[in-house]
Structure 1
Amino acid sequence: MRTFRNPVLPGCHPDPSICRVGEDYYLVTSSFAYHPSLPLFHSRDLVRWRQLTHVLNRPGQLPLHGLDVSDGVWAPTIRHHDGTFYVVSTLAVDRRGSLTFVVTATDPAGPWSDPVPLEAEGIDPSLFFDDDGRCWFTACRDAEGDGGPGELWMRELDLDRLRLAGPTHVLWHGAVRGAWVEAPHLYKHDGVYHLIAAEGGTERNHSVTAARSGAVTGPYVTDPRSPLLTHRHRGPDEPVHNVGHVDLVDTPDGETWAVTLGVRPIEGTHTLGREVFLVPVDWTAHGPVFAPETGGVRLTERLPGLAPASVQREDPAPPERTRFGGGRLGLEWSSLRGPVTGLVEPTADGLEIAVAPEPLGSTGVPAFVARRQQHVRFQARAEIAFAAAHPWEEAGLAVFQSQDQHATLALTVDAAGTPQVVLTVRQAGTSTRTAAAPLPPGEALLAVEADEAGYTFRARHPDADDWADLGTVERSFFSTERAGGFVGVHLGLYATGNGRPGTGRAIVRWFDYQPG
């Protein structure tokens, strides 16, 4: 049997949604408070994915300033109809839906329109195009009646005006009494409407549930087989947990596959965030059957029938050393809450990062860019030139989980003006310098190496042979279970005056990320 390795998108890519146009597949995921927002990927075989763009990539399209890193842009859905791509999503503030919007494009690579607000409460919006061309908008919200804590609801979307129209239909309160139902997607198969949802939260009790109806507006009857897919009943040694939030897609040759989120914990905690897994689906008279051979998500799965025999998704290939000389950052790099134009600039000498007042522990836009951690074992290194003028100025590497939980390895000076490298750990909003070592002025090599036990921070002068070991932070410190929120670890480059303005700039000559 020809196989591939899950996840197909490793690292923090939560809440996947997928659509097909001809032989091309397009996938979007949540981005939370990272900018640009809503990464969009393309594939021809469902296994190998290449990022095309971000759906929201222009300044001022959506306000993220002041948000916790796990707020921001949540749970998009991508659909295609009559030559137009649609993405609906929600801006979340304080863990609640604040603004639901739709954007459109004729080319998935962009440009995408500015967000058009929709009169919709709740989160997790989705679109369904029926056979008659009508478009139905679904989402989840707090229940208005006694049916449950949450409910799925529907209105028609007027495609000409991009406005919700007509009456609101309450569709379903979920299969699990007392659980909040979310992530609705609607499909039509053999004349029956299938409403697929998620219940039990996004952690260990996450599950896929379903209801069905003979009419698009209902009434919907719970599929008694629910949950249709979950790992909540599996033991701690199961390699994949938190499975749920699925979206289905049909291949040209009639297969159905689902993309779903899941995490890969180690001893009960995970640092990579929620990743995208691919699961086969069969249709029966009773509805969809997920992972019909095993009933669960596997790390090794059979290839889709459309895939050529040579397909094997490997972990992302180690990139060539990033030297930042191309005038723009690659699509794998993000900033926090907005663009960093003027703060972080690729130049012929390297990546210039201004010593800006905003610290990493704030909810503003710091001089910071980062890429996802995609492997438990990895090594990241950077050569940085920086001369701090004051002890409060610093520049270096960051292992970033959130503004309240991260670690930095930074070049700075002590009170006497002596150059040094400092390891600082920020836990629950409080920063503590845990180690420091003198370093000759000028350039330095900074490194972080990670494995199942922890993250080890090292530094040396480029002309030196030996590394100074600044310490190790246990891996679980950076986990979602410890830090809270919904995101995985990002590895970043930054500079800050920690609340004070600065005039200097750090130059990152190059950056390496290598799987272990």
Structure 2
Amino acid sequence: MRLVPNPVLPGCHPDPSVVRVGADYFMVTSTFAYHPGIPVHHSRDLVSWSRVGHVLDGDSWLPLEGNTVSHGVWAPTIRHHDGVFYVVFTIVRGTEGATTYVTTTVDPAGQWAVPTPLEADGIDPSLFFDHDGRAWFTAARDAIAPDATGPGEIWLRELDLGTLALVGPTHVLWHGALTRQWVEAPHIYERDGRYHLIGAEGGTERNHAVTAATSDTVTGPYSTDPRSPLLTHRHLGAGELVQNVGHADIVETPDGDSWALVLGVRPVNGHHTLGREVLLVPVEWDDRGPVLAPGAGRVQGVLPGLPDTAARPADWLSLRGPVRADVVDDAITLRPRPAPLSGREVPAFLARRQDMHRFVFETTVETDRIAGHDAGVVAFQDENTFLAARVRRRPDGCVVRVAGKVGGAEIVRSEVPVTGDVVLRIRSDGQSYTFSCVTRIGEDVLATFPHTALSTETAGGFVGVLLGLVNEAAEDAEPLTFRGVRYAAPVAASEGVASDGAVSDGAGAGAHDQ
């Protein structure tokens, strides 16, 4: 099998699930409190992926107000049967619990059905279609079986495809392979008359791992594959380029080869800001089950800077629901809302995933249009960890200041007076975030923060950094147009560091509600 460049989908795309239909592969990933939810990516080779739609958008969207950023849509699985695509996923609502849903379509790039809730405990749902046409639903939950050997368990129940309801008895399949570890992320595969169940254990941080079990029947009982963990980077040390590897889904090519999509992170000095990314590893099968990354035992093909060269169109995201925005080329008109970034409502915020360690993100703001607005550029991790350079009007004129939160603590830097058009810029060399403003007089550096301030290790949670625009103001205030919106690898000395890749386009085309 060939060596592939990794990650195949950089930036925050956790919990990948993949299905093949003919020569086409379709992948879905978690989106937590981002809107639209669950992007659908398409590929013909498992390496080059393009986004073709979203599962949760328009009529299929489920509101998420009140949730933290790391709650919301968790761990979808995509499968295909008799011309229909199925996605199952869970919405976690903090102390209110979780609800699992199923939705369908005949066109994964089109509109998906309004999700149907399922009577299902736990998280990380999955579907398996057996040779006889029966559909089986699996998920992970806290162990309730009296003979449980671990704190979590994988359970199974039949899904009636006519009513989209779970029917029949519940079967407890497995309590995991690792002592005192919570098992999650189940997927079932059949091969040569044997059923293979893979899961994830060790949490989603440095001890993350892929484990497995096998059975003669889909309903179990399942016996742990003693080779577990089948894939992990927990033993490779802090110097390994990829950490936190786990949460696998296996797919077979038309030629009969097998590959697994897994998640992992690329930390810099022990802290990651890009979120959990999608990686590709080869799979071989023997009489005991799958062997992930045979002959290597680790994710290969990860080179410093390599994924930074990918030119990817923007997937513009808001938080917890749609915002009113028009995106045309490199100009974004964003209608205001009073909701702060630190709250749990839907702020006037539109952003894209940071998928490069080194970058420049910038836009031009017309200070003459600033009235009651507090508007500018943001590096956003979650409602308790974000930094923004914003323009606001004072009695004697407009100023730019950097403010936000780090770990819930307020951060404020001194204000700089500005007039006319001002370029607000965030740039990073991979180890720091620098905020600056550029006027006709020159560039003023406003503040520099270590990348650790915005890392997942600092903030907690399950997401990466978003780079975006905010227009906080009363709803009857005028919309603002951010011109010259640009996200790129740095190419000029004035932007900080030498280029390691091609420029990524700054915006999509067309007018729409996000």
Partner secondary structure for residue 414 of structure 2? strand
Matched, 1:397 2:377: yes
- Displacement of 1:267 in angstroms is 1.3
Change beyond 3 A, Cα 1:502–1:436: farther
Please tell me whether the aligned partners of residues 232 and 242 of structure 1 are also in contact (alpha carbons under 8 angstroms). yes
Partner secondary structure for residue 435 of structure 1? coil
Deviating runs (4+, > 6 A) in structure 1? none
Partner secondary structure for residue 268 of structure 1? coil
The 2-side partners of 1:236 and 1:368 are apart by 35
- Displacement of 1:425 in angstroms is 2.9
Counterpart position of 2:257: 255
- Displacement of 1:60 in angstroms is 6.8
- Displacement of 1:355 in angstroms is 3.2
Matched, 1:451 2:434: no
Please tell me whether the aligned partners of residues 19 and 25 of structure 2 are also in contact (alpha carbons under 8 angstroms). yes
Matched, 1:27 2:8: no
Change beyond 3 A, Cα 1:221–1:97: farther
- Displacement of 1:177 in angstroms is 1.8
- Displacement of 1:515 in angstroms is 1.9
Please tell me whether the aligned partners of residues 318 and 515 of structure 1 are also in contact (alpha carbons under 8 angstroms). no
Matched, 1:238 2:240: yes
The 2-side partners of 1:362 and 1:406 are apart by 12
Change beyond 3 A, Cα 1:20–1:501: closer
**Aligned-partner residue type, residue 361 of structure 2:** A
Please tell me whether the aligned partners of residues 85 and 104 of structure 1 are also in contact (alpha carbons under 8 angstroms). yes
The 2-side partners of 1:95 and 1:28 are apart by 26
Partner secondary structure for residue 69 of structure 2? coil
- Displacement of 1:334 in angstroms is 0.6
Change beyond 3 A, Cα 1:248–1:55: same
Change beyond 3 A, Cα 1:425–1:71: same
- Displacement of 1:314 in angstroms is 5.8
- Displacement of 1:97 in angstroms is 5.2
Counterpart position of 1:493: 469
The 2-side partners of 1:142 and 1:371 are apart by 35
The 2-side partners of 1:348 and 1:475 are apart by 30
Which among 408, 425, 442 is matched to residue 388 of structure 2? 408
Counterpart position of 1:325: none
- Displacement of 1:4 in angstroms is 2.9
- Displacement of 1:249 in angstroms is 0.1
Please tell me whether the aligned partners of residues 78 and 87 of structure 1 are also in contact (alpha carbons under 8 angstroms). yes
The 2-side partners of 1:454 and 1:469 are apart by 13
The 2-side partners of 1:295 and 1:365 are apart by 43
Counterpart position of 1:334: 317
- Displacement of 1:61 in angstroms is 2.8
Counterpart position of 1:469: 445
- Displacement of 1:434 in angstroms is 1.2
- Displacement of 1:108 in angstroms is 1.0
The 1-side partners of 2:365 and 2:293 are apart by 48
- Displacement of 1:349 in angstroms is 10
Counterpart position of 1:374: 355
Change beyond 3 A, Cα 1:382–1:404: same
**Aligned-partner residue type, residue 382 of structure 1:** T
Normalising to structure 2: TM-score of the pair?
Answer: 0.91
- Displacement of 1:145 in angstroms is 2.9
Please tell me whether the aligned partners of residues 208 and 227 of structure 1 are also in contact (alpha carbons under 8 angstroms). yes
Normalising to structure 1: TM-score of the pair?
Answer: 0.91
Counterpart position of 2:107: 107
Superposed CA offset, 1:81-124 (max 9, x none): 11000000000111885110000000111111010111101000
Superposed CA offset, 1:151-180 (max 9, x none): 000000000111100000000000112111
Equivalent residues in 2 for 1:298-447 (5 A)?
A: 298-300=300-302, 315=308, 317-318=310-311, 332-341=315-324, 344-346=325-327, 350-386=331-367, 387-390=369-372, 393-414=373-394, 416-440=395-419, 442-447=420-425
- Displacement of 1:427 in angstroms is 2.0
State the number of aligned residues.
485
Please tell me whether the aligned partners of residues 119 and 165 of structure 2 are also in contact (alpha carbons under 8 angstroms). yes
The 2-side partners of 1:296 and 1:400 are apart by 31
- Displacement of 1:451 in angstroms is 1.5
- Displacement of 1:15 in angstroms is 0.1
Superposed CA offset, 1:24-54 (max 9, x none): 0000000000000000000000000000001
- Displacement of 1:356 in angstroms is 1.8
**Aligned-partner residue type, residue 384 of structure 2:** D
Partner secondary structure for residue 178 of structure 2? coil
Counterpart position of 1:211: 213
Counterpart position of 1:307: none
Change beyond 3 A, Cα 1:267–1:371: same
- Displacement of 1:298 in angstroms is 1.4
Counterpart position of 2:299: 297
Partner secondary structure for residue 481 of structure 1? helix
- Displacement of 1:433 in angstroms is 1.7
- Displacement of 1:331 in angstroms is 5.9
- Displacement of 1:426 in angstroms is 1.1
The 1-side partners of 2:273 and 2:83 are apart by 39
Matched, 1:190 2:192: yes
- Displacement of 1:246 in angstroms is 0.1
* Identical amino acids, percent of aligned pairs: 52
Counterpart position of 2:497: none
Please tell me whether the aligned partners of residues 330 and 484 of structure 2 are also in contact (alpha carbons under 8 angstroms). no
Change beyond 3 A, Cα 1:399–1:178: same
Change beyond 3 A, Cα 1:456–1:63: same
Please tell me whether the aligned partners of residues 317 and 351 of structure 2 are also in contact (alpha carbons under 8 angstroms). yes
**Aligned-partner residue type, residue 216 of structure 2:** G
Please tell me whether the aligned partners of residues 208 and 230 of structure 1 are also in contact (alpha carbons under 8 angstroms). yes
Counterpart position of 2:10: 10
Please tell me whether the aligned partners of residues 33 and 337 of structure 1 are also in contact (alpha carbons under 8 angstroms). yes
The 2-side partners of 1:263 and 1:349 are apart by 30
Change beyond 3 A, Cα 1:361–1:300: closer
**Aligned-partner residue type, residue 406 of structure 2:** Q
Please tell me whether the aligned partners of residues 375 and 390 of structure 2 are also in contact (alpha carbons under 8 angstroms). yes
Counterpart position of 1:304: none
Partner secondary structure for residue 64 of structure 1? coil
- Runs of 5+ in structure 1 lacking a partner? 302-312, 320-329
Equivalent residues in 2 for 1:269-288 (5 A)?
A: 269-288=271-290
The 2-side partners of 1:45 and 1:346 are apart by 30
Matched, 1:159 2:161: yes
Change beyond 3 A, Cα 1:193–1:331: same
Please tell me whether the aligned partners of residues 399 and 489 of structure 1 are also in contact (alpha carbons under 8 angstroms). yes
Superposed CA offset, 1:161-213 (max 9, x none): 11100000000000112111000000011111000000010001110111100
The 2-side partners of 1:484 and 1:47 are apart by 30
